[in-house]
Amino acid sequence: MLKDVIRKWWRSELCFADKNGTVLDWQKGSKEGFRRCSQSFRTLHEKFRSSKKLRSALLQDCHLNFTVVGAPLYINGEYEGFIFVEGFLRQTLNDREAEELKAKIRELSPEAADLDRALERIPMMNPTELEKLTDLLEFGVTEIANYESEMIKRDQTIRSLSSQLSDRYKFENIVGKSEPMLEVFRLLEKVCNCESSVLIHGESGTGKELVARAIHYNGPRRDKPFVVQNCSAFNDNLLESALFGHTRGAFTGALRDKKGLFEVADGGTFFLDEVGDMSPALQVKLLRVLQEGTFLPVGGTQLKEVDVRLIAATHKDLSELVKQGAFREDLFYRINVIRIRVPPLRDRRDDVPILIEHFLRKHQRDGQRARALSLEAVDMLTAYSWPGNIRELENEIERLLVLGSDLETIPSELVSSRIRQSVPQGGRLRATGKLNEMVERLERDMIQQGLVRTNNNKSRLARELGISRSNLILKIARYGLESTDGADGDETARA
């Protein structure tokens, strides 16, 4: 805008020289003329660079006795160059001065013609006009500096917010911004720097191990080992040996001493997954480690000491197992100091589109064109209940990338049939009819999908939906959702 104003008012051009005194985008005059004018620009540059206190515009005459007026540009206190206007006169030339100027012009441009007319077109500025121009230049550099400062602040803010969002929404590989996940993140921020035992509860595939890793790697033991063991992976004998180690000859095949995982994890964190599957005998040994920090290897006679922070995880209701006598009450209270519930994916549907993008990037391979899912496919995946949770979603995205590798956008037709069949109308809620009818349709669909997901276990489904079992049974009868084969998941669970 300033360039247009100066060109309109005074038929002069606004130019810029960088912090090295180099004039950028010079497009007029001969090379020799520019070389000689550059000496005037260099003089201005040296004056501006020599004193940071000099912030006002300065005048400088060039080799043709034209005036150059420039204003220094400072951004965040650093000299970045100057803007200037050149090629005008401050007073009318007499005859002698006019002839001298024409001679200099012929020397630089022998082909120049009609010099008298050219002299008439030279801009003339009286003191008042020159004052206006200097004010404009000083105003211009102030506006440029303010704009650049705002851009720098904006970029810094964006980087800061990006960092905060990364830290906030992504502990290790945990991705999400839904309210249930924000609750998890808020709790993690408090838990990471303490030394208390943590019990993580959540369904299979919800990412309990990722939460445990987030606690470890964001805490004071981050530089120490993080050891993982799934209690349902081995029988009692193998699990005891894995946890506590054994001595040579302790059992057939024990050819040498072997460290247990508790000893390996000394100083760090031990993540004990599916702790609800541990036998009562091993529960006793685990309790001893937690209370006294000592354990006895299989076949050993000397106690070993360890300093380990325990993080346990389970998909089972340990308090119910305590009532049934299947889990020690003292151990339950020992590991249940801090409890973190990792929500199932159906309770954090707002995170599904974010997780889709995350897994699309994660599993993208060379040669695959697919970069996104269609809106219908995203709606369908968002509406699905995901009994296998995040693990199931990741597998589905990986499958879609393989099947749709030659497409730019993956359509809903490629989504697994089990998902398409369980989600009505491509995943979109039928927003027609009265409000109570829409609520009833949604309630019926949730109960129907829940019965399939829980294998008709009404007690479990009632807990998930936050209603009583008797109320659930009434709703099942109301919507005609009774099991057709007579199976009852509750009885199966108790058998």
pLDDT in tens, 179-190: 888 899 889 988
DSSP 204: T
Angle formed by the axes of helices 352-362 and 389-403, nearest 10°: 50
Determine which of 193-197, 210-214, 250-254 has the lowest per-residue pLDDT on average.
Answer: 250-254
pLDDT band, residue 442 (cuts 50/70/90): confident
pLDDT band, residue 29 (cuts 50/70/90): low
Residues 184 and 267 both lie in one domain: yes
The set of residues, in sequence order, having a beta carbon less than 8 Å from that of 141 and lying 6+ positions away, is: 71, 72, 73, 74, 82, 83
Residue 469: how many other CB atoms lie within 10 Å = 14
The set of residues, in sequence order, having a beta carbon less than 8 Å from that of 259 and lying 6+ positions away, is: 245
Residues 14 and 124 both lie in one domain: yes
- Report residue 240: phi and psi, to 5°: -60, -45
In the block, tokens 């360039």 appear at 3
More confident residue, 123 or 23: 23
pLDDT for the residue numbered 391: 93
More confident residue, 477 or 281: 281
Average pLDDT of span 221-246? 90
DSSP 248: T
Q: Do the Cβ atoms of 465 and 431 come closer than 8 Å?
A: no
pLDDT for the residue numbered 492: 37
pLDDT for the residue numbered 323: 93
Residues 268 and 364 both lie in one domain: no
Bridge-based pairing of strands 309-314 and 198-201 is parallel
Residues 328 and 461 both lie in one domain: no
Q: Do the Cβ atoms of 75 and 145 come closer than 8 Å?
A: yes
Determine which of 224-233, 420-429, 446-455 has the lowest per-residue pLDDT on average.
Answer: 420-429
Strand ordering across the sheet containing 309-314: 226-230, 269-273, 309-314, 198-201, 338-341
Residues 310 and 417 both lie in one domain: no
Q: Is residue 170 pLDDT above 70, yes or no?
A: no
Q: How far apart are CA 387 and CA 454, in angstroms?
A: 8
Average pLDDT of span 312-337? 93
Residues 422 and 278 both lie in one domain: no
Determine the distance from the C-alpha atom of residue 278 to the mean position of all C-alpha atoms in its chain, rounded to a whole number.
37
DSSP 373: E
Determine which of 51-65, 196-210, 452-466, 471-485 has the lowest per-residue pLDDT on average.
Answer: 471-485
More confident residue, 97 or 221: 221
Q: Do the Cβ atoms of 269 and 308 come closer than 8 Å?
A: yes
Residues 334 and 384 both lie in one domain: no
Bridge-based pairing of strands 269-273 and 226-230 is parallel
Whole-number Cα distances in Å, 27 to 19, 34, 121, 412, 419: 20, 10, 19, 57, 65
Pick from 7-21, 230-244, 311-325 the range whose average pLDDT is largest. 311-325
How buried is residue 314: exposed, middle or buried, by Cβ count under 10 Å (0-12/13-18/19+)?
buried
Average pLDDT of span 155-167? 58
Residue 171 lies in a domain: no
Residue 166 lies in a domain: no
pLDDT band, residue 164 (cuts 50/70/90): low
pLDDT band, residue 168 (cuts 50/70/90): very low
Bridge-based pairing of strands 304-305 and 294-295 is antiparallel
More confident residue, 156 or 212: 212
Q: Is residue 167 pLDDT above 80, yes or no?
A: no
Q: Give the residue numbers spanning the domain of 88.
A: 2-149
The set of residues, in sequence order, having a beta carbon less than 8 Å from that of 405 and lying 6+ positions away, is: 365, 367, 368, 369, 370
Q: How far apart are CA 14 and CA 8, in angstroms?
A: 11
pLDDT tens-digit readout, 261-277: 999 999 999 999 999 99
Residues 10 and 110 both lie in one domain: yes
pLDDT for the residue numbered 249: 85
pLDDT for the residue numbered 310: 95
Q: Is residue 161 pLDDT above 80, yes or no?
A: no
Bridge-based pairing of strands 14-18 and 23-24 is antiparallel
Average pLDDT of span 67-72? 91
Determine which of 50-54, 263-267, 378-382 has the lowest per-residue pLDDT on average.
Answer: 50-54
Residues 406 and 444 both lie in one domain: no
pLDDT for the residue numbered 23: 86
CATH value at residue 421? 1.10.8.60
Q: How far apart are CA 78 and CA 49, in angstroms?
A: 10
Q: How far apart are CA 286 and CA 244, in angstroms?
A: 9
Residue at which a domain ends, from 109, 133, 149: 149
pLDDT tens-digit readout, 348-366: 988 898 899 889 988 888 7
Q: Is residue 455 pLDDT above 90, yes or no?
A: no
More confident residue, 66 or 139: 139
What is the model's pTM?
A: 0.54
Q: Is residue 27 pLDDT above 60, yes or no?
A: no
Residues 84 and 229 both lie in one domain: no
Q: Do the Cβ atoms of 227 and 268 come closer than 8 Å?
A: yes
pLDDT for the residue numbered 369: 77
pLDDT tens-digit readout, 83-105: 998 878 887 777 777 777 777 76
What are the helix and strand counts (H, E) for the chain? 20, 16
pLDDT for the residue numbered 486: 43
Residues 141 and 245 both lie in one domain: no
| Domain total of the chain | 4
Residue 89 lies in a domain: yes
Residue at which a domain ends, from 149, 170, 187: 149
Residues 223 and 360 both lie in one domain: no
pLDDT band, residue 26 (cuts 50/70/90): low
The set of residues, in sequence order, having a beta carbon less than 8 Å from that of 61 and lying 6+ positions away, is: 40, 67, 68
pLDDT for the residue numbered 445: 74
Q: Where are the alpha helices (DSSP H) in 192-316?
A: 208-217, 236-244, 261-264, 280-292
Q: How far apart are CA 452 and CA 316, in angstroms?
A: 19
Average pLDDT of span 206-224? 90
pLDDT for the residue numbered 137: 93
Q: Do the Cβ atoms of 41 and 84 come closer than 8 Å?
A: yes
Whole-number Cα distances in Å, 265 to 25, 145, 194: 65, 56, 17
pLDDT for the residue numbered 102: 73
Amino acid at 218: N
pLDDT for the residue numbered 2: 87
Bridge-based pairing of strands 338-341 and 372-373 is unpaired
Q: Is residue 386 pLDDT above 80, yes or no?
A: yes
DSSP 22: P
Q: Which two tokens stand for residue 42?
A: 């260099």
Q: Do the Cβ atoms of 212 and 200 come closer than 8 Å?
A: yes
Whole-number Cα distances in Å, 304 to 151, 288, 494: 60, 12, 40
Residue 140 lies in a domain: yes
pLDDT for the residue numbered 393: 95
Residue at which a domain ends, from 288, 319, 341: 341
Q: Which two tokens stand for residue 36?
A: 């000689």
The DSSP annotation for 122-190 comes to S-B--HHHHHHHHHHHHHHHHHHHHHHHHHHHHHHHHHHHHHHHHHHH-STT----SHHHHHHHHHHHH
Mean pLDDT (the chain, rounded)? 83
DSSP 350: G
Determine the distance from the C-alpha atom of residue 221 to the mean position of all C-alpha atoms in its chain, rounded to a whole number.
24
